[in-house]
Structure 1
Amino acid sequence: MQNNTTQVEGQTPQREGHYELAKKTAIVTGGGKGLGKAITKMLLTKGMNVAICGRSQDSITTAVQEFSVLYPQQIYGESCDVSNSQQVQTFVANVVTKFNHVHVLINNSGFGKQSLVWQTTESDWDEVMNTNVKGTYLMCKSVVPQMIKNLEGYILNIASQAALNGYANAGVYCASKFAMVGLGKALQEEVREFGIHVHSLNPALIQSQKTPADAIDSGLVQNEDLAHMAVYLLQQPRRLKIDNIGMWGF
């Protein structure tokens, strides 16, 4: 295999050893609740600075207040619609001002609509695609230059088994997740020479508690399972590339 590593300011990417998470900065979209909040907590316990965003200022404020009790200097958050380019640019700029760099991006924001393909409204199609695909693109567009400057970085796209399989009544969701994985694969080829890893996680149905009183189906993937997998990926040898990790309840 030909080595196409490009030097940046006379340096080459570090490919030996493991990635040190402590003091590094991560962005988690949709980090104020559910899966994003679980991932945020896991990263904080590893000593990372974490910036979270979401459409709901209330959920972001609540999460920041909660995490600030144990990690007062490590957590930052603000509302941001990831499908809005100006809001994304402002958010990323504020994160860089706060923590100086962005080393890890976890594209977690996303949702679906249940409908047959030919009965899906154009507005529903646009809403899902704009969040799941355009949002991922805009976040990567804003963060990758920082990672290139650092000659390091990790981008984790929370995709789905719907990125690999077709499901009835979920056409737009499947289309968005297929696109998300395809975007990640293309991006990986573009940023490999700068020491940047792009991964896709493809979980099956996730048990996501809305409230502490909600019943838990122990046969389903839990939020914490994906949080552990995210950290697992970040802690692998830097020379190692892992992709399209599938996860199912056992």
Structure 2
Amino acid sequence: MRKLLLYLTVFVFIFSIYSQDAENKKRGYISALKGDAQKRKADEYRWLEAKLRMDVESRDILRTLPESFAEIALKKGSRIRLAPKTIVNMVKLYEETENKLITKMKVQKGEIWGNVRDKGEREVFEFESTAISSSVVGTEFRIQTHKKGSKIKVYRGQVEVKGVIKKEATNKDKKEDIKIKKPDEIEGPTEIEGPKEVTMEEWTLIVKEMMELEVNKDGEIVKYRSINTKREDDDSEWYRWNKERDKELIIK
């Protein structure tokens, strides 16, 4: 009887260690899926079918197919949702850096909706998109990115956005006359244009509650205004689905 109890104790101990180790490795999981999505590692090329409750770890890349939504559940109730035709690189998930837990994601294409529940300074969420990077704590927001730039809307809390304006220092006012050469005319020596100076101007802006920011691909701020919730894009199926998911978080 004692041997049986000893074996059971050892088994429970080993199982608890295994479960704890598995839990530590599970950085997040797919908590909702409407339609089809795929997942792969950053250093791999083969996409796997994403399924409900599937684990999501650092360096995973997720993408949603047309007319599909996906939600990733993270620690402490935080949620990141992917709109149709969106690609997100989970660069870091809860990695310890200078006494802080850093979660870093790169929105390569499409749009995400984030609901970050934790308001502590120890946990930091960073999001990269075209021309900008955003730091998020205890916020409800959405980021849309494409080749022409990025747009961020903040529904609750505030988001720190950083960007870099790149400008080529050239004199655009100078216009060179076009010279038409005669047949067999030998062109004389020409001056080769030297390297052009590129200036970089960094900026930081706090996007507050119910405000939206739009930045072009060169890092220049195009719009900064209040959110109009009656706009067409805010009355879409994607918008309603996010609001429904947020209500479920409040109930829980």
Shorter chain as denominator, the TM-score bin is under 0.3
More helix by share: 1
Looking at CA atoms only, which structure, 1 or 2, has the larger radius of gyration?
2
Name the TM-score, length of structure 1 as normaliser: 0.27
More strand by share: 2
Name the TM-score, length of structure 2 as normaliser: 0.27
